[in-house]
Structure 1
Amino acid sequence: MPCPFSSPPRPDPVNPQSNRGTSARRSHGTILLWVVNIGAWLPLLFLAFDAYTGRLTVNPIQAAEQRTGDIAITLLILSLACTPLNTLLRWPSVLKARRPLGLYAYFYAFLHFLLFIGLDYGFNARLLLQALTEKPFILVGLAGFLLLSALALTSFDTWKARLGKNWKRLHRLTYLINLLIVLHFGWAVKGDFLRLQGDVFRPLLAGLVVLLLLGLRLPAVRRRLAGKLHTLLPSRKIHPER
């Protein structure tokens, strides 16, 4: 079962009958990577522009924290969605976006972390420890960030070769990370989830999407959906998962 920080599967040896299809997939994958790279940097440019022009509300530090956190969650969920999209839409090129999306998610999570401990708490260890004890959602977010750091640092092929089978086991933690990050998000917002009051729509939506994507990764669900879609998309082949 692949994970968001894994590299795209290597293509099978090319045969004369598949040259055209392979070239088309590579072209689509290249375009998609351009879209991912440009799209991932744009939020940071907008954030920098708003900070420079004084448009980050009356509490700019909190606004920057929230925006970097929102971007990180969005990119992490998009990374998690790559494999189900390949299964449902028979779109192997999307697998090339899995690792970049995961790494960009970590980049924004790291910015979120730096803004919190640096600008918000001034790197004051005493205040940070006090916040961890008084606000449990910070502890949940920290756990998710530390696990995400491990996946980002070991996402490259050299670590994959060094860790062997343990690499795949380690990177399955991405499913737990998504749940922790969504829990952190929902716990941090001000609102009443039972009465659906306050800022609860976004964390609820994120949680539902993550649960849906995790459900689509279950072997029984994946096989059932792939079988049904086989008749709808007969001309395209689902990229094998490795």
Structure 2
Amino acid sequence: MKTIDNKTLAWLKVAVFILACMPLARLVFAAFTDDLGANPIEKITRITGYWTLVLLMVSLSITPLRKLSGWSWLVRLRRMLGLFAFFYACLHFSTYLVLDQFFDWASIGKDILKRPYITVGFPAFLLMIPLAVTSTDGMIRRLGGKRWRNLHRSVYACAIGGVVHYWWLVKKDLSNPKAFALILAVLLGLRVYNWLVSLRKQPLMAQPLKL
């Protein structure tokens, strides 16, 4: 299935949308059933941060999967996945801002300076904002393809910052942060490999053919 029709693609988008909403639905259900545990704020923060990274990794895997499989339609799902990653990042930050700190800006400023995982996580979140704002077709046309692509390469910095944020936040069991770090290393490694291959091909393509 290298290509798919618009109807199938629409159903795939609906399926992705439902799956991406499931973590939030489970959180809401747990809140209504008083099943968030002894520290509900910590649980909400942890779950929203976890799914931010999951969706970010899935969105970053689209390009390598497309190249390996030839399924060009995968690109049509990348925007939705990226926006859902930003959505959960907003929930993650809002939980900290509203429920944990109660808009205490002085305390937040001290946290950013004193706690390394917040020092890394906060700018990673801020970097996601322009990516979400410029995700529309209209913004792509306004910026131009080249400038838009250059801007959206900052998603790599967001992903690295997010993984480091998670790694430094976790105190005991590092299995999840290590898994995210490994996945990100593979995804970035594939991009570096493809970039090096393209650099090797460019001089050969530029040389005139010798008969």
TM (normalized to structure 2)? Answer: 0.87
Q: Which residue of 1 aligns with 2:66?
A: 86
Q: CA deviation at 1:31?
A: 3.0
Q: What whole-Å deviation, never above 9, does each CA across 1:189-228 have from its counterpart, x for those lacking one?
A: 11xxxxxxx210000000110110111123547969xxxx
The structure, 1 or 2, with the larger RCO (C-alpha pairs under 8 Å, 6+ apart) is 1
Q: Report the secondary structure of 1:119's partner residue.
A: helix
CA distance in 2, matches of 1:111, 1:208: 25
The residue identity in structure 2 corresponding to 1:52 is: F
Residue 171 in structure 1 maps to residue 145 in structure 2: no
- 2:12 aligned to 28, 32, 35, which one? 32
Residue 218 in structure 1 maps to residue 199 in structure 2: no
Q: CA deviation at 1:34?
A: 1.7
Give the RMSD, CA atoms, in angstroms: 2.0
Identity, % of aligned pairs?
Answer: 38
Residue 103 in structure 1 maps to residue 77 in structure 2: no
Describe the shift of the 1:83–1:220 C-alpha distance in structure 2 as closer, same or farther (beyond 3 A): closer
CA distance in 2, matches of 1:56, 1:222: 48
Q: CA deviation at 1:26?
A: 3.5
Residue pair 1:182, 1:206 contacting (<8 A) in 2 also: yes
CA distance in 2, matches of 1:163, 1:186: 35
Describe the shift of the 1:119–1:132 C-alpha distance in structure 2 as closer, same or farther (beyond 3 A): same
Q: Report the secondary structure of 2:135's partner residue.
A: coil
CA distance in 2, matches of 1:150, 1:121: 25
Describe the shift of the 1:21–1:59 C-alpha distance in structure 2 as closer, same or farther (beyond 3 A): closer
The residue identity in structure 2 corresponding to 1:188 is: L
- 2:101 aligned to 121, 126, 138, which one? 121
The residue identity in structure 2 corresponding to 1:179 is: I
Q: Which has the higher helix share?
A: 2
TM (normalized to structure 1)? Answer: 0.77
Q: Which residue of 2 aligns with 1:200?
A: 174
Q: What whole-Å deviation, never above 9, does each CA across 1:157-215 have from its counterpart, x for those lacking one?
A: 1111111122111011111111111111101111xxxxxxx210000000110110111
- 1:133 aligned to 108, 113, 133, which one? 113
Q: Report the secondary structure of 2:61's partner residue.
A: helix
CA distance in 2, matches of 1:21, 1:50: 40
Q: CA deviation at 1:139?
A: 1.6
Q: Which residue of 2 aligns with 1:195?
A: none
Q: What whole-Å deviation, never above 9, does each CA across 1:57-90 have from its counterpart, x for those lacking one?
A: 1000110011011111101110000111111122
